[in-house]
Structure 1
Amino acid sequence: MSSILTLLKEQILNMHLIFRIGLYEMKSQYQMHYLGRIWQFLNPLVLVSVYWFVFGLGIRGGSPVGETPFFLWLLTGLIPWLYISPTIAQASNSIYSKIAMVSKMNFPVSVLPTIKMFSNSIPFLILLIITFCITIIYGEFSGLYLIQLPYYLISMYMLIFAITILTSSLAAIVRDVQNLVQAIMRIMFFLLPIVWSVDSLPGNLATILKLNPFYYLIEGFRHTLIGGEWFFDDITYSIYFWLLTMIILLIGSTIHLKFRNKFVDYL
């Protein structure tokens, strides 16, 4: 547990640095594009439109999921994933891509995945607000369920940090890890209830899919934005999620602290 506390302390002590570099990365990402930061919102808009057309109008024929319009149901699951997937892929490469520069500066490399998490957070939070406004337009406002949004945001950030501190450390040592992460995130999209409903699956298969911690987050954001379930309604599942997150964080922090003084040697 001391390794986890060490990394968390480093994040807190360097929060000002995380914010400063994260904002710089966000501003510079599309600096050479004519549309600039508009792409941060244009890309999700195009993806949502394509998935809605293919899965909503094409495969489902416009039918709702339960009593929820498919477009809204899709949006509440897809927006969190459009943050989670690229952030994990990019943060997993953060140490390798910046280690030469960081080795000449006085701040811990453990903040590099967090910087990427922060730089991607601002567009995500704006899209989340837009999604919330759309639920109101559709008349699907979740009411009191919205107060559990901070819980799911914290859950998401903790899981992403746990995974990326592990994968970014391993990717700095073995480059194949980065390709593996990207492949897994692409496959993961189709194993999560983002464009399809779990209600159509047999009970045993649905239970197996719930072992995926991202399932917990996607459904959690959906329940928060359109209502239906509290995070403590299935307390066993919540305990499982946090136990798995802490195990990943423990493994990742241990590996990171053991090898981080040698990362430069693997370049």
Structure 2
Amino acid sequence: MNLVGRILKEQSSNFHLILRLARYDMKGKYQLHYLGAVWQFLTPVIQVLLYWLVFGIGIRGGAPVHGVPFFAWLMVGLIPWFFISPSILQGSNSVYARVSLVSKMKFPVSILPTVTIISNSFQLIVMLVVLAFIFIVYGINPGLHILQLPYYLVSLFVFLFAVTLLGSTISTIVRDFQQALQAIMRMMVYLLPILWDQSRLPHVFQTILKLNPIYYLIEGFRNSFLGYAWFYDDWIYTLYFWVVTLLILLVGSVLHIKFRKKFIDYL
């Protein structure tokens, strides 16, 4: 646990550096494009429309999900996913992509995944504002359940940090890991109940889906925005999520501390 504390201390003591690098990263992504940062929102908008046409109009025929318009239900699931997927992929590649630039200076390499997460947070914030506007248009009132959204946001950031810390270490040592991760993330958008309703699945299959911590986060956003349940209603599943997340953080911290002085040797 001392290693976890060491990693977390590096994040807190370099917080201003993280924010500064995240701002530069966000500006640098699209500076050579004519539309600039607009692509950060144009791409997910195109994806949302495609998923809505295929799954909402094509497959469901426009039918609502538990009384909620499919488009609103779909957006609640896609918004965290549009943050989770690129953060995991980019965060897992962050050390490999930049370690050659910082290897000759005293630089806390563990903050590189965090920089990626913070950089992608701007898109999350804007899309949450857009979601609020959509809910106003549809007349959807989340009720008091929206008060638990900060909890799920904290859960989301902690999980992403744990996964990207571990992923960035493995990806630097074994480059095949990054390719496998990209394939897994492409499949996961269809395997998880982001685009479809899992309520009609047999209980055993729903239990299998819950083994993926991302399921907890996606459903948590729907519980918050659509007023389905409180996070403590299924306290066993909440406990499972935190045990898995903290275990990933522990393993990631141990491996990162062990190998980070040798990262440059794997380039």
TM-score w.r.t. the length of structure 1 is 0.98
- Identify the residue that residue 179 of structure 2 maps to in structure 1: 179
- Identify the residue that residue 139 of structure 1 maps to in structure 2: 139
Task: Tell me, in whole angstroms, the C-alpha distance in 1 between the residues paired with 2:59 and 2:190.
Answer: 15
How much has 1:105 moved relative to structure 2?
Answer: 2.6
Task: Tell me, in whole angstroms, the C-alpha distance in 2 between the residues paired with 1:150 and 1:18.
Answer: 21
Matched to 1:256, the amino acid is: H
Quick check: 1:200 aligned with 2:200? yes
Quick check: 1:93 aligned with 2:116? no
- Identify the residue that residue 239 of structure 1 maps to in structure 2: 239
How much has 1:200 moved relative to structure 2?
Answer: 1.8
Task: Tell me, in whole angstroms, the C-alpha distance in 1 between the residues paired with 2:245 and 2:133.
Answer: 31
- Identify the residue that residue 34 of structure 1 maps to in structure 2: 34
Matched to 1:72, the amino acid is: A
Give the SS at the match of 2:199: helix
Task: Tell me, in whole angstroms, the C-alpha distance in 1 between the residues paired with 2:78 and 2:98.
Answer: 30
Matched to 1:12, the amino acid is: S
Q: Residues 98-136 of structure 1, C-alpha deviation per residue, up to 9 Å, x if partnerless?
A: 001111232210000000000000111110121122112
Task: Tell me, in whole angstroms, the C-alpha distance in 1 between the residues paired with 2:180 and 2:112.
Answer: 20
Query: What are the ranges of 5 or more consecutive residues in structure 1 without an aligned counterpart?
Result: none
Q: Percent same amino acid among aligned pairs?
A: 55
Query: What are the ranges of 5 or more consecutive residues in structure 2 without an aligned counterpart?
Result: none
Kept in 2: contact 1:135–1:225 (CA 8 A)? no
Q: Residues 47-101 of structure 1, C-alpha deviation per residue, up to 9 Å, x if partnerless?
A: 0000000000000000011101110000000011011001100110000010011
How much has 1:219 moved relative to structure 2?
Answer: 0.6
Give the SS at the match of 1:200: coil
- Identify the residue that residue 253 of structure 1 maps to in structure 2: 253
Kept in 2: contact 1:91–1:117 (CA 8 A)? yes
Task: Tell me, in whole angstroms, the C-alpha distance in 1 between the residues paired with 2:105 and 2:246.
Answer: 30
TM-score w.r.t. the length of structure 2 is 0.98
Kept in 2: contact 1:132–1:225 (CA 8 A)? no
How much has 1:137 moved relative to structure 2?
Answer: 1.8
Task: Tell me, in whole angstroms, the C-alpha distance in 2 between the residues paired with 1:32 and 1:263.
Answer: 30
How much has 1:8 moved relative to structure 2?
Answer: 0.6
Give the SS at the match of 1:137: helix
Give the SS at the match of 1:12: helix
- Identify the residue that residue 82 of structure 1 maps to in structure 2: 82
- Identify the residue that residue 149 of structure 2 maps to in structure 1: 149
Matched to 2:7, the amino acid is: L
Give the SS at the match of 1:190: helix
Kept in 2: contact 1:169–1:256 (CA 8 A)? yes
Task: Tell me, in whole angstroms, the C-alpha distance in 2 between the residues paired with 1:145 and 1:137.
Answer: 19
